[in-house]
Amino acid sequence: MSDQQLEKLVEVKDLRISAYNDEKEEIQIVKGVTFDIYKGQVVALIGESGSGKTTISLASLSYTKPGLEFTGGEVLLNGEDVLTAPPDRQREIRGANVAYLAQSAAATFNPAITIGEQVTESAVLHGILTQEEATKRATELYHALELPNPDRIGIRYPHQVSGGQLQRLMAAMALCGKPDLMVLDEPTTALDVTTQIEVLKAFKKVIREENSAAIYVTHDLAVVAQIADHIVVLYGGEIMEQGSADQIINNPTHAYTRRLMDAVRPKPVAGLGTAVGEEHDREVPAVSVDNMTAGYGGIVNGEPAITILRDVSVDVKNAHVVGVIGESGCGKSTLARVMAGILPQARGTVKLEDQELEGSLNDRKLEELQKIQFVFQMADTALNPKQTISQILGRPLEFYHGLKGKEKHAKVTEILQMVELPPEFASRYPMELSGGQKQRINMARSLAANPEVLLCDEVTSALDSIVGANVIKLLTALRDKTGVSFVFISHDLSTVASFADEIVVLYAGRVVEQGPTDEVLEPPFHPYTRLLISSVPELRIGWLEDTMQKREMAVGIAKGVEITAVGCPFYNRCPMGIEGTCDQQSPPIRELEGGHQISCHLTIEDLKDAEKHTQQILHGYEKLEDASLKPHG
C-alpha cells in the first residue's frame, strides 16, 4: 500500500527523553526520534534491550517510566501534542485514544478483579460505551480472538485461564474502547513457540478487522516480519534505519540492521552444534534417571497425588549437553528438580556416576550435592541483592571446599575469569550489573562448587538474542575446558539446536523422543517434535499465513498440554492419531540408529512416510510445486 493515500495518525517529531542520575547529570535515553504512523498501519520498533524502543512507544501514551523525563520534541496524535496535554486529557488519551498491551499478561491482569471488568473498565470509564455495550463488544472480541468459551470467559478470574489466553484477553482489553492506536510491547516474547503463533494469528486478525493502527515493540525480527507494515530500527535511542517491512527484511541497508538479522535465531535444523571432544569420555553417565515418576502432593503406592513426570529415563553422558525441550507445563523444570533432589521422585532411580542417589536433598552427601548444581532462570531473584559478588561466589567455595581468606579470594578472581568478567566485579552488588552479567554471576556461583553436572533452567530465556548467544558461547567453552555436563532446559529450540549434543523432547511429563541432536532434528520426527520445529517463526513475510494453512498446525495449535494417565498424551493434538489405539494404549518406544528413540504408535515407516509431508511443512514454500513430494492419499 502506498503511504500517500493514507491519513496520518501519529507524528513523532524529534522526540527526546532523558534520565537524571544521582549527580543530576542528564543521560539521554531517546536522542531525537522521528517517524509517522498512518491509520491502519502496524509500525514495528525493533532493537536490542536498551535501544529505547519501549520508552518511545510509551511516549504515545504521554507516559514515562519513573525516573525518566520528556526533554524535547513532540508526539502528535491527530494533530494534538500528547506530551503537553493537561493531566485530565492525558488520562483520557490513555485508554480512549491509545491502548497499551504489555509483555506479561500474567502480571498485568489484576488478580482480584474479573477479566470482564478489566476488559471493559477503560471503555466505560472514558464514557465511550455503557457497561452493557462494552460487555457486548468484549464478547464479540473474545469470539474474534478465538478464545474458548467466549460467552463466559468474562466472569472468570485471570488465574483461571492460560497464559496464551490472557495475552489474547489483553488484546481484547486494549481494543474494547476502539482506540485509534494500540501499543504492543513484546506481546509474544514470553510465550512458547506454539502459543506465540496462536497469539500472533489472533492479533493480526483483529488489527485487520478493526482497521486499527499499532506500534509493535520487539527484538525479534522473525516476528516483525509476520505482522509489521513499516519497521523502525533503533539502537541506543537513535533511529538507524526505517522503511517498509519488505525493504527492511529483504534489502536492509544499515550495517546494524544486518547485524540484527544475523542474530535472528536460526531455524532449528541438524548440524548447527559443535561436536563434543573425546577427551572427556567416560564409561558411566554423569547423571542417569531411570524409569522415574514424580509429581506433587502425597505419594500413595508410588503414585503422587498430581503426577507430572511419568516413567522418564534420561542419561546425561560426561561432558555432554542434554537439551530438554517442550512447552510450559510439560515437566522440564520438574525433571531438573528431581535430579537436584529438590523434589524427591515417587518411583524410579536417580544415579550420579552409577551411584544411586537419595531422593531428597537433605539425605544426600555433601560431595553429591557439590557435584550437581542448579542454575536458576531469573538471576535477579536468585542473587541476594544485599551481598557482594565476592560473598555470593565465596559461599560455595567455603561450604564445599573449605576455602578461606586469601585462597578464597584468589579462587573468586579465577571464577570471575572463567565467566569472562573482570576481577573488580568482586566488590560490586548484583544491582550494579547488567542482565547478561548477572546471569554470568548466577552461573559462576554454581561453577564455584566445581560440579560434574550443571542443571540450567531457561538460563538464556530472559536475555535478548545477542546477549544470550554470548552466554551460550561461554557455556560451550566451559564444557570443553572442564568436562562439566549440562542439562539445558529451554523452550527456545534454536538455542538448543546450536548447543546441545543430545535432545530430550518432553510432552505432558513423558519423553516422546530423545537422541543425538542431529538425529532428533532430522526426520523421522515424533509428531510433537515436528509441531515444535514448525512453530519457530521464519524471517520471511507471509510465513505465518503459509504455516497456519497446514492441517498439522490447525490441530496442534488449537489445544494445549493435558497430562493424561492413559494412552498417548499427544493424541488430542496429533494430526495422525489413531482412534482406539493412541487414546487407549501407551505408545511403544521405537529404537533407531545412534540411540535415537521415538515413542509413538506409528511405525518408523509410517513416520518416514509422513516425513515427505513433513518436508513440505518445514520447507513448504520451496517444494509445493514438486508434485513427487505430495503426500500419498
Least distance to another protein from the beta carbon of 423, Å?
35
**Relative orientation angle of helices 551-558 and 527-534, to the nearest 10 degrees:** 100
Least distance to another protein from the beta carbon of 10, Å?
16
Q: Establish if 380 lies at the interface with another protein (CB under 8 A).
A: no
DSSP state of 127: T
Per residue, the 3-state secondary structure of 25-86, as one string, reads CEEEEEEEEEEEEECCCEEEEECCCCCCHHHHHHHCCCCCCCCEEEEEEEEEECCEECCCCC
Taking the C-alpha atoms of residue 424 and residue 416, their distance in angstroms, rounded to an integer, is: 9
Cα–Cα distances in Å, from 433 out to 33, 413, 426? 28, 17, 11
Q: Establish if 215 lies at the interface with another protein (CB under 8 A).
A: no
Q: Establish if 104 lies at the interface with another protein (CB under 8 A).
A: yes
Q: Establish if 61 lies at the interface with another protein (CB under 8 A).
A: yes
Least distance to another protein from the beta carbon of 7, Å?
24
Q: Are 295 and 335 in contact (CB under 8 A)?
A: no
Q: Establish if 96 lies at the interface with another protein (CB under 8 A).
A: yes
* Total number of residues shown for the chain: 633
Binding residue (CB under 8 A) for another protein from 1, 27, 107, 410: 107
**Interface pattern 115-144 for another protein (x via CB under 8 A):** ------xx--xx------------------
Taking the C-alpha atoms of residue 512 and residue 507, their distance in angstroms, rounded to an integer, is: 6
Q: Establish if 149 lies at the interface with another protein (CB under 8 A).
A: no
Phi, psi at 352, each rounded to 5°: -115, 115
DSSP state of 229: S
Q: Grid coordinates in use for 36?
A: 509517522
Q: Which is nearer to another protein, 121 or 241 (CB)?
A: 121
Q: Establish if 95 lies at the interface with another protein (CB under 8 A).
A: yes
Binding residue (CB under 8 A) for another protein from 49, 78, 108, 370: 108
Q: Establish if 385 lies at the interface with another protein (CB under 8 A).
A: no
Q: Establish if 157 lies at the interface with another protein (CB under 8 A).
A: yes
Least distance to another protein from the beta carbon of 107, Å?
4
Least distance to another protein from the beta carbon of 20, Å?
17
Least distance to another protein from the beta carbon of 141, Å?
15
Q: Establish if 110 lies at the interface with another protein (CB under 8 A).
A: yes
Nearest to 519 by CA among 303, 269, 310: 269
Q: Establish if 189 lies at the interface with another protein (CB under 8 A).
A: no
Q: Which is nearer to another protein, 124 or 289 (CB)?
A: 124
Q: Establish if 360 lies at the interface with another protein (CB under 8 A).
A: no
Q: Establish if 612 lies at the interface with another protein (CB under 8 A).
A: no
Q: Grid coordinates in use for 329?
A: 507445563
Taking the C-alpha atoms of residue 402 and residue 461, their distance in angstroms, rounded to an integer, is: 34
Helices (H) and strands (E) in the chain, counts: 24, 22
Q: Establish if 216 lies at the interface with another protein (CB under 8 A).
A: no
Q: Are 502 and 513 in contact (CB under 8 A)?
A: no
Question: Among the candidate windows 108-116, 267-275, 566-574, 603-611, which touches another protein by CB under 8 A?
Answer: 108-116
Q: Establish if 111 lies at the interface with another protein (CB under 8 A).
A: yes
Count of residues in contact with another protein, rule CB under 8 A:
30
Q: Establish if 85 lies at the interface with another protein (CB under 8 A).
A: no
Q: Establish if 259 lies at the interface with another protein (CB under 8 A).
A: no
Binding residue (CB under 8 A) for another protein from 9, 37, 77, 102: 102
| Terminal-residue alpha carbon distance, the chain | 40
Q: Which residues of 232-261 are buried (b: 16+ CB within 10 A; e: fewer)?
A: bbbbebebbbbbebeebbeebebebbeebe
Question: Among the candidate windows 111-119, 135-143, 267-275, 614-622, which touches another protein by CB under 8 A?
Answer: 111-119
- Interface residues with another protein (CB under 8 A)? 58, 61, 63, 90-96, 99-100, 102, 104, 107-113, 121-122, 125-126, 156-157, 159-160, 173
